Every structure is written in C-alpha cells, then in structure tokens.
Chains A and B, each alone.
Chain A
Amino acid sequence: MAISPPERRIWWNEPIEKVELIWVIIAFLWGLFMFGFMIAWHFIGQQNLNKEAYRIDPSSYEAKVEAFAKKYQVREEKSIPVVKPPPGVDVYLLGRLWQWWPILELEKGVSYRIHLSSIDWLHGFSLQPTNINIEVHPGYEHVITLTPTQSGEFGIVCNEFCGIGHHTMTGRIYVTEQKRAEAGPGLAGGR
C-alpha cells in the first residue's frame, strides 16, 4: 500500500502497465503542444503583449502625460480632459490614486503606441467590456501597440488593489468609427 514501503525492494524495474504508459505519453505530447502553441501565437496571433518598457521617474512620466493631454485635448468631461491624438502619435495614459488619466478618444482600426505607467502604487489596467488586463507599475513605462477593433465607449477599471479608494478608480476610452472612409475597405471594413 501507499502507506508502507514498496512491496518489492527493486521497485524501479517494474514494467509500466499499458494504460499508464499511454496516458503518460498523451499527457506529455499535450504538454508539448501547449508549449508550442504559445510560441506559435507569436507568429500567427494578433494578441501578444509587448515587453517594451523603460525605467522612468514617476514625476517625469506625469509631466509627459500632461504635455500630451494639453497638446491634443478636444474637450473636457467632469473636469477630465478628453484627448484625441492623431494617428501615428504616441499616446500616454497614467494611473494614480484613484483615476486613469486622461480620457482617450481613439479611432477604430488605427494602431496606437500606448504608454502605460503609474505615478504612485501598482494599478491594474482592465479595459472593459473587452477584457484586456495589464499590470501597471510605478517607475516602469510600458509601451504596447493597441488597435481597437470595436467602436463605442469603453471603461477602464483598476483591478490591482490600490487602497481604500480602489473601487472608485476608473477611466474611459472612446473609440470612433474612422471618418476617412476613403482610407480603404481594408481598414474600415470588416465586421
């Protein structure tokens, strides 16, 4: 029994029963497949998190985001600037106790280099209802290239606990349909 020493002292020479052997092989091959699929998704998939990141002082990051917001602000909502960067411009978003700042307005089908960082504690960028979730650190400026595939109003929730106001920490991204329909069916078309 499993609670007594193996019945045969030389237990490592016992042959393996067929059903066990088959299962070990299946499980091993399945593991190899899943391992390979993560690698494959870097080539065939459209959702891979970029590792690009820079160390940055939180106050310098805050200054960068403020300059960005000032330059491309189009209106204001609840005293938060709504910023509409033209395509090709680097976009900055910051997390702090307890808000995501500023509000962004993006265009569907356009790729943006989005910079993410926190100026105080750890925060969790959680784009809803799309459900993209990324950890946001203070002192690290993370750059991802994001392409919205839906239009509408999206919420950013904080899903890394950040103190007593954690549940009040939200933000917003608007995604508009591309105005330049002549940009071609390849970009604006689809679903």
Chain B
Amino acid sequence: MTAETIIGAVGKTAEFRTCQYTGLKVDIAAQQLIKANAVAAVVFLALGGLMGLLVALTRWPAVHLLPADWFYLVLTGHGANVLLFWIIFFEIAVLYFASAVLLNARLVAPKFAWLGFALMVVGAVLANVAVLQGDSSVMFTSYPPMQAKSHFYLALILFAVGALIGCAVFFATLVVAKEEGTYQGSIPLVTFGALTAAIIAVFTIASGAIILIPTWLWSLGLISNIDTLLYRVVWWAMGHSSQQINVSAHVAIWYLVAALLVGAKPLNEKVSRTAFLMYILFLQLASAHHLLADPGLDASWKIVNTSYMMYLAVLGSMVHGLTVPGSIEAAQRRNGFNKGVFEWLRKAPWGHPAFAGMFFSLVMFGFIGGISGVVLGTEQLNVLMHNTLYVPGHFHGTVVAGTTLAFMAATYLVLPLIFQREIVWPGLAKFQPYLFGIGVAGISLFMMGAGTLGVARRHWDISFSDTDLSFAYSAGAYLMMGLNGLFAILAFLGGGRFVVIVVGTALFGQKITGGHKLAFPLHAGGGTAVAHYGSRGTWKLPGTAVLVALFFVSFALYYFINWKYLSELWLFR
C-alpha cells in the first residue's frame, strides 16, 4: 500500500527552488505556508506582548496603570495571544520547515494546510473579539463555573482544529517523503524533535476537545453543570501538554541553530533521540502539576504523575542540556577554538542574533524555567507556591525565556532562508536577544521572588485598598513587583524591536538573489566538525562538563532550600 492510497488522491506536482546556502530543495508551497504562519505568529506576539506590558505596569504598585476590569480583560488576552496564538502559529511553521524543507520533500496537500491556517486565523481573531467585548475575562484557564461568552470557547475550538490540520499535513509529508525516497536513512534529529512536538500536539488537542466542546455546549445552555475538579484535570491535560509541544519544538530549534551556525552535530543520535522519546512517553502526565493543592486526589497519583513517572521526562531535558552545548563545544573545537576550557564559548558567534538567542534560551530554560518547574511540581513544595506569582515566574522562564527566545532566534535564520531577504537594521538585530533576554530573566526571577513572598497571581491590587479585612504584603514584595515592572519594560523593548525587525525585513528587506555573504555554518570547515559519535576521534568536552556541573549544583541547592522553607510552615496533614 502506498502513501497515496492511505492519504487519498494527492497531486504529485510541486514547484521547487534550490536553497543557495544549504543546497536543499524548497517546495514553494511549503515556503508560502511557512511565511504565512510566521507572519501571523509575529502579529499575535506584538498584540500579546503589548498586553503583557500593560499587565506588568498595572501590577507595579507605584504605577497601577489599568482599572480592574481592564486589567483582567487584558490579562486574559495576553495569555491567549502569546501562549496560544504566537507559539502555535510559529510551531506550525516549524513543522512545515522540519518536514518539507529538511527532507527535500514536497508538502502534501497544501490546500488543506491553507484551510488549517484559515481556521487558526479565524479562531485567533474571534477569540480576541470575544475578549475585547469584555464579557469573557475568564483568564486563559476559563475555570467553570465562571463563564465566558460561547464564541470565546468556539474560537479556541476552531483554532485547535486548524492546528490539528497542520499536524496532519506534517505527518502526511513525512510518510510521502519516505515513500518517494527524498532522503536516505532516518529522518534528521531536528525533524525527529518536530515529530515529537506533533505527536504531543495530537494528544493535547484531543484533551482540549474533550473539555472545551462540553464547556462550549455548557455556555450555550445545553449542558447544565461542569464538575470543577474534572475540568481542571482534563483542561490541564491540554494546558500543560501544550507547553510540552513548546519544549520539544524549541529543543529541536536549539539543534537546528547549532547545526546551521557552528556546524554542530549531535554527539550521539541514540541519546538525543531517546531524550525526545522520553517527552512523548511521559510529558503528558504533567496535568497533575496543577492539581497538587486540590482536594480528593491521592498522594500516589500525585507523585507518579507530577514527577512524569520518576522524572523520566526531566531526564530528557537534562540530557538535551548536555548534548546541545556539548555538540556546540565539539564543533567549535573542531573549528579551531580549542584553547582552555571555554575558548569555544567565548569565541562563539555571539554577534549573530540567532546564536545569542538560542544560547540564552538554552541557559535560561534550564536554570530558571527548568529548576523552578521541578520545585513547583514537587508534591509537597507546591503548597508553598500554588497560584502565587511564582507560577507565572516559572512559566515565563520556560515559555518566554525558553520557547519565545528560541523562536526569535530561529526567525533570524528563517528571514534569509525562507523569506530570502536581508535583515534590515542588522545592528538592531544584533542586540535584540540581549535586551529581550535580560528583560525576561528579570520578569521571571522577580515574579518568582514575589511569589515566594506570597503575592497572588492574577490579582489587581496587592495593597487590598478596597477590602474590609486588609492585609499587607511585605515591603520586599512591593520591591519585587516594581522590579518586575522595570524588567517588563526592557522585555517589551526587546520584543518590540524583534517585531519591527521582522516586519521591516519582510516588507523592505533587500531581496537575496545570489552570491550572498551569509554562509552556513558561519565558520569555515564547520560542516565536517566532530568525528564520529563516541569514537576515539570525538573531542573531550570539559567546558560542557563544567556547565552541567554548575547546573546540577544550582538545582540541588535550590531544591533543598525549598524543603527548608516548607519545614518551617504550619503543620498540616
């Protein structure tokens, strides 16, 4: 049975161009779809980022910008636009790139892919309309019995169906590429990472359908009641798993950027692929992270699920945490930067925004997002932080410092490779990851700090000026909120700069026709970097060993400090 009979009548004709840098065949239909999805992603990033700034300025007690109703409205919009629309549009672009472009293949059923894109656009616009109308300020999580207008849920369902179509096109493209023999052997590691993301996406969207369709019917009055605990269990099977799509996608991008810029090759295909496999097998259990402080759930259920079955998915991330910098170190040493422990890192292409963005993403995802995530997801420790600002602090470390920064880094490669335009204002672009990275590190850390001091998330007024029984948070908490506001401004300037560069380049960037100065990898000879995996020819990696040792010590210290905090709490059982 051929792929054609499985998928149905699919036209075999496709128009290709040859990439002058990589020699890859690029399907023009795939290229158009990648452009469209990337542009839509950036539009929603701009909107959601602006909303994020308004949120941070309102939570800065000295500024307190928006009135309460607008604050809750804008916070709902912020979550939907950046956490869903920006990231998932971009991920669909990544899926098409990792399948059609990297495999030299044609994208299967581009019209179907356009249908998916249209549904996603309609869903995203409709959701924004619903939120801005003001009757759907239910936050990203939309916990019943609080109810939004029915078109808010419908918008999310339409968006999810569109994304599911994108995944289907990706899977079909993989099957057809294999069938038509467009590549030899196994799929590249980056494509394998994208496949991981797509598999998790299917699980995520299925969970979303299970909970959002009944919720939509409930908002129409067709279902009388939704159980709040059941909703949280199933909703988070979507809500948390969708973040695991991001992890898989941005780890794939780490490998992609490392390969293109320094010629890095996976140290060991087996290890890196097994680490991705751990994501597929265990990351979906993370719904439990959100239920550790809920009634009625057994400790054994919590422990097994919250730890992704004995931390096997965390193991996956820790492995990538070594193999990504390790492959860069090996390539750089082969490129000639072989002095001492850290010359390879010092002389890495820090002036290229794709490299700087990728490396900051790697470091901050591990040190800020990763460590805080494990602590927050520890059964008992969660009670210290559940629903405090620590939670957004953590996930700004994963989704903004990790995923968003990695996607921005990838964009600096997509612009010349897929849009075929020179980046306008390269000077602005050079420092963009630094500005955004510092801003995001600040927001993550200061929100985590405020959460440690008890400040509630999604809260308009931490001074409790309108309440009968007032309560005062410590002065430290106010300081943290002020610093959070300051760093949010930095992050906004960095994010705004990114949007301006992308829009400017897409519209006015000089067309790249041929003989361009960009060369991949940036260093001559990078392509042959690293001998064979695990053979005696492999370079020793002292720098990476130091980095992971530093990570491990930070992780263990911070983990035990939190147990110390917990042991000082009132006793409860």
Report which A residues bind B (CB closer than 8 A). 1-9, 11-12, 14-17, 19-20, 23-24, 26-28, 30-32, 34-35, 37-39, 41-42, 45-53, 77-78, 80, 99, 103, 111, 116, 120-122, 124, 126-135, 137-142, 144-150, 155, 157-164, 166-172
Contact = CB atoms under 8 A, between A and B. Distances in A.
B468 A6 contact: no
A1 B384 contact: no
Contacts of B555: 30
B533 A130 contact: no
B310 A19 contact: no
A50 B405 CA distance: 40
A122 B139 CA distance: 13
B96 interface: no
A183 B507 CA distance: 79
Interface of B: 22, 68-69, 72, 102, 137, 139, 143, 145-146, 183-190, 227-229, 232, 255-256, 258-260, 263-271, 291-299, 303, 306-307, 310-312, 314-315, 318-319, 322-323, 326-327, 374, 378-380, 383-388, 452-454, 456-462, 464, 466-471, 473-474, 527, 532-535, 538, 540-541, 544-545, 548, 552, 555-556, 559, 563, 566-567, 569-573
Contacts of A48: 299, 380, 572-573
A45 B533 CA distance: 46
B456 A159 contact: yes
Given A1-B263, A1-B264, A14-B534, A155 B569 contact: no
Given A129-B474, A134-B386, A5 B573 contact: no
Nearest to B319: A24
A137 to B, nearest CB: 5
18 contacts: A2-B264, A14-B268, A14-B532, A15-B535, A23-B322, A27-B315, A30-B555, A31-B311, A32-B310, A47-B566, A51-B299, A80-B468, A99-B468, A155-B469, A159-B459, A167-B459, A168-B461, A170-B468
Contacts of A78: 468-469
Nearest to B300: A39
A103 B544 CA distance: 55
B380 A161 contact: no
Contacts of A133: 293, 383-388
B571 A146 contact: yes
A38 B379 contact: yes
A28 B278 CA distance: 12
Given A5-B185, A27-B315, A126 B469 contact: no
A112 to B, nearest CB: 10
Given A11-B270, A124-B387, A164 B69 contact: yes
B310 A35 contact: yes
Contacts of B291: 135
A132 B570 contact: yes
A162 B185 CA distance: 54
Given A28-B315, A140-B228, A170-B469, 15 more contacts: A1-B259, A1-B265, A3-B259, A39-B303, A41-B380, A49-B383, A50-B572, A51-B296, A111-B571, A131-B384, A131-B388, A133-B385, A157-B471, A161-B139, A162-B146
B552 A30 contact: yes
Indicate the member of B256, B295, B473, B548 with the most A CB atoms within 10 Å.
B295
A6 B186 CA distance: 7
Contact of B269 (A14, A116, A130): A14
B521 to A, nearest CB: 8
Contact of B268 (A16, A32, A140): A16
B233 to A, nearest CB: 12
Contact of B72 (A34, A126, A164): A164
A47 B571 contact: yes
Nearest to A125: B293
A149 B571 contact: yes
Contacts of B474: 129
A26 to B, nearest CB: 7
Contact of B532 (A5, A8, A20, A171): A8
A34 B311 contact: yes
A100 to B, nearest CB: 8
Contact of A168 (B69, B388, B466, B527): B466
Indicate the member of A80, A126, A163, A170 with the most B CB atoms within 10 Å.
A126
A190 B457 CA distance: 34
A113 to B, nearest CB: 10
Contacts of B464: 157, 167-168, 170
A103 to B, nearest CB: 7
Contacts of B310: 31-32, 35
Contacts of A14: 268-270, 532-534
Contacts of A171: 469
Contacts of B185: 5-6, 9
Contact of B571 (A12, A23, A46, A53): A46
Given A9-B184, A48-B573, A171-B469, A135 B552 contact: no
A74 to B, nearest CB: 16
Given A42-B299, A137-B228, A159-B456, A132 B569 contact: yes
B178 to A, nearest CB: 11
Contacts of B456: 124, 126, 157-159
B307 A34 contact: yes
B68 A142 contact: no
A87 to B, nearest CB: 15
Contacts of B318: 23, 27
Contacts of B535: 15
Given A19-B322, A41-B380, A5 B572 contact: no
Nearest to A124: B387
B315 A31 contact: yes
Contacts of B566: 45, 47
A15 B531 CA distance: 13
Contacts of B384: 131-133
Indicate the member of A49, A127, A147 with the most B CB atoms within 10 Å.
A49
